[in-house]
Chain A
Amino acid sequence: MSTDSTLHCTTTGETVRLAPVGAWTAAHSEALEQRLAAINPQISTARELAIDMAGVRELDTLGAWLLERLARGCIARKIQVQFLQLPERYRGLFDQVGRVNRRTVQRPVSKNKLLLGLERIGQYTITLQVEFVTFLEMLAALSFALVRVLGRPRTFRITSAAYHLYRVGWQAIPIMVLITFLIGCIIAQQGIFHFRKFDADAYVVDMVGILVLRELGVLIVSIMVAGRSGSAYTAELGSMKMREEIDALRMMGFDPVEVLILPRVVALVIALPILAFFGSMAALFGGGLVAWLYGGMSPEIFIARLREAVSVTHFEVGMIKAPFMALVVGLVACSEGLRVKGSAESLGLQTTNSVVKSIFLVIVLDGVFAVFFASIGM
């Protein structure tokens, strides 16, 4: 690379003669810009400017633009500009550069921060409303599909439902059992550790039993299902939407809700109680194991105390919640999936949304159930 890229400047009377030499390329931009700034005073007094291009060895868009910008500045100040000895090979480039940057765009003015904040709150509120309506719409569409299918049971997609049951139920068992087992262990360990101070280790069994059967078993499993299966539903339906598969279905006269969503939600509604049951059992097992190994309570005593501490009601409370959790997760996952637009980004966004929303709704629903069961004395 040469360092001889520069600009010679000679003044004769009112004519300034500029002779750019060497490589006028982006690699020398700093030197070129400095040089151009340096000759600016000389030009400002001139009436005519001649730019002799004979010495230019290399020229790229940047070089051409620098000269063009100089020429435009001069023309604006009523100085005549002439390009001399412009080599043929650069003519096209100069023509192109002569056409660009003729007008500047108005960048959108940023608004008042406070107003922007208020606007955002308003938009969120509307979005929230829209989302709630979408959820209800999906619930309604699913109910209609269910009624239709109940009327003609043969139209139910049993194969699809079985396949999804296998995926969200059977294949999920190991991870669900492992997680709930660990949760059971942790609760029992913490309980023993803290209850020991009051000489109340025996009540750990009550705590583990009630907590797991009423709340944690189903809640942990629901959250796991939302993350594992809900996101998968959203991604599947979303990619189908992206590839126009759903439009194709509709065009052939099928109802996508009946064909795609009903089997998925049904599979989830069947799978989640089963998973919650296995999860609760694993958590109790974990609790018992820790009580035995860490708390020194023999399994026989643990089981005997458990029998006293918990009743079928606790178990029922947990299990009743499970299908509703499944319904919420399934509905959110499917409606988010159908809201995917053409791009891959929107698929990712809706999948994230689906998981966040279904976990949030699962916890809210759990709270609602807690109030409900308390008021009916269960």
Chain B
Amino acid sequence: MSGGTPEIVIRISDLVVGFGNQLVLDHLSLEVRRGEILGLVGASGGGKSVLLRTIIGLVPKRQGRIEVMGVDRDTASPEQERAMERRWGVLFQQGALFSSLTILENIQFPMRESLHLPKTLLDELANAKLEMVGLSPEDGLKFPAELSGGMTKRAALARAIALDPEILFLDEPTSGLDPISAGEFDALIKTLQQTLNFTVFMVTHDLYSMQVQCDRIAALANGKVVALGPIAEVIESDHPWVKSYFQGKRARVITRATH
């Protein structure tokens, strides 16, 4: 991150998303800067995952503009869209590894689609990703069903970074992991972010991982971003939901420990 005005990689303005009569995102605006780790918090069912899925194009929007790396999906040609999708990686909540492929084949899947590499190089590169996320080469030959929760997340992360993305979307990366694995996973994301220089857009509930790795936090309530900034600033916010989120009993244990 250099000084001056930071470059914006995701620009969301006036976004409206709803299902039936229910409005999930209500004229939401948000900007994500290049190279930062942005954490998105919000109530369960409050639209965090919906926002993430809308940005990556899985949920249709009703109104507003979403610009990712300068490309607006509404006006983009299919080629532009495909090129844009190649420049981001997504880690889904349950990993979403293809169950019929081995881990190595899972990592190679996006590579095969967009890179034309000889077999040996493809194997080496996929294995490199596998080892970068802390799995052993033997794990590459396993099938997703044979992996534990933490390993599944790691394998899914390896697939998400297969193409050296510029933006990494993480949907609750540490949910379902024990504190040790969660901590290791946080550290891993941070390390990879520093080595591969990507921007991270992360939906999370994990106060601790927010504390240690997010550069900025966006708090989502009533379909809008009600607080945005470094965690210290967000904690001081006056918004009632944000207050109860960060000042609640569970949160206090962590925020007190670090203040």
Contact = CB atoms under 8 A, between A and B. Distances in A.
B128 A92 contact: no
Interface in B123-168: 124-125, 127-132, 137-138, 140-141, 145, 163-164
A56 B45 CA distance: 46
Given A61-B125, A65-B125, A105-B140, 5 more contacts: A26-B164, A62-B121, A96-B195, A101-B128, A105-B137
A25 to B, nearest CB: 7
Interface in B191-242: 191, 194-197
A345 B145 contact: yes
B121 to A, nearest CB: 7
Nearest to A344: B99
B116 interface: yes
Contacts of B138: 105
Interface in A103-132: 103-105, 107-108
A76 interface: no
Interface of B: 99, 111, 115-118, 121, 124-125, 127-132, 137-138, 140-141, 145, 163-164, 191, 194-197
Contact of A26 (B115, B124, B194, B195): B115
Given A100-B128, A101-B128, A92 B145 contact: no
A96 B141 contact: no
6 contacts: A26-B111, A26-B117, A96-B195, A105-B138, A105-B140, A345-B99
B164 A25 contact: yes
Nearest to B115: A26
B141 A105 contact: yes
B146 to A, nearest CB: 11
A26 B163 contact: yes
A107 B121 CA distance: 17
Contact of B128 (A25, A29, A33, A61): A61
A101 B115 contact: no
Contact of B127 (A93, A101, A108): A101
A30 interface: yes
B194 A92 contact: yes
Chain A contact residues, majority secondary structure = helix
Contacts of B111: 26
A60 B140 CA distance: 21
Shortest Cβ-Cβ A-B pairs, 4 listed: A92-B195, A60-B164, A100-B131, A100-B128
B137 A97 contact: no
Given A60-B164, A107-B141, A33 B129 contact: no
A33 B196 CA distance: 21
A99 interface: yes
B195 A104 contact: no
A343 interface: yes
A315 to B, nearest CB: 50
Residue with the greatest number of chain A CB neighbours at <10 A, chosen from B117, B138, B194, B195: B195
A95 interface: yes
Interface string A40-56: 00000000000000000
A97 B130 CA distance: 11
A243 interface: no
Contacts of A100: 127-128, 130-132
A105 B118 CA distance: 19
Contact of A69 (B118, B124, B132): B124
Contacts of A95: 195
A96 B163 contact: no
B251 to A, nearest CB: 30
A61 B197 contact: no
A93 B194 CA distance: 8
Contact of B118 (A33, A61, A99): A33
Nearest to B163: A26
A306 to B, nearest CB: 55
Nearest to B120: A69
A99 B127 CA distance: 11
A333 to B, nearest CB: 24
A89 interface: yes
A120 to B, nearest CB: 19
Contacts of B195: 92-93, 95-96
B118 A65 contact: no
Nearest to B145: A343
Interface string A61-87: 110010001000000000000000000
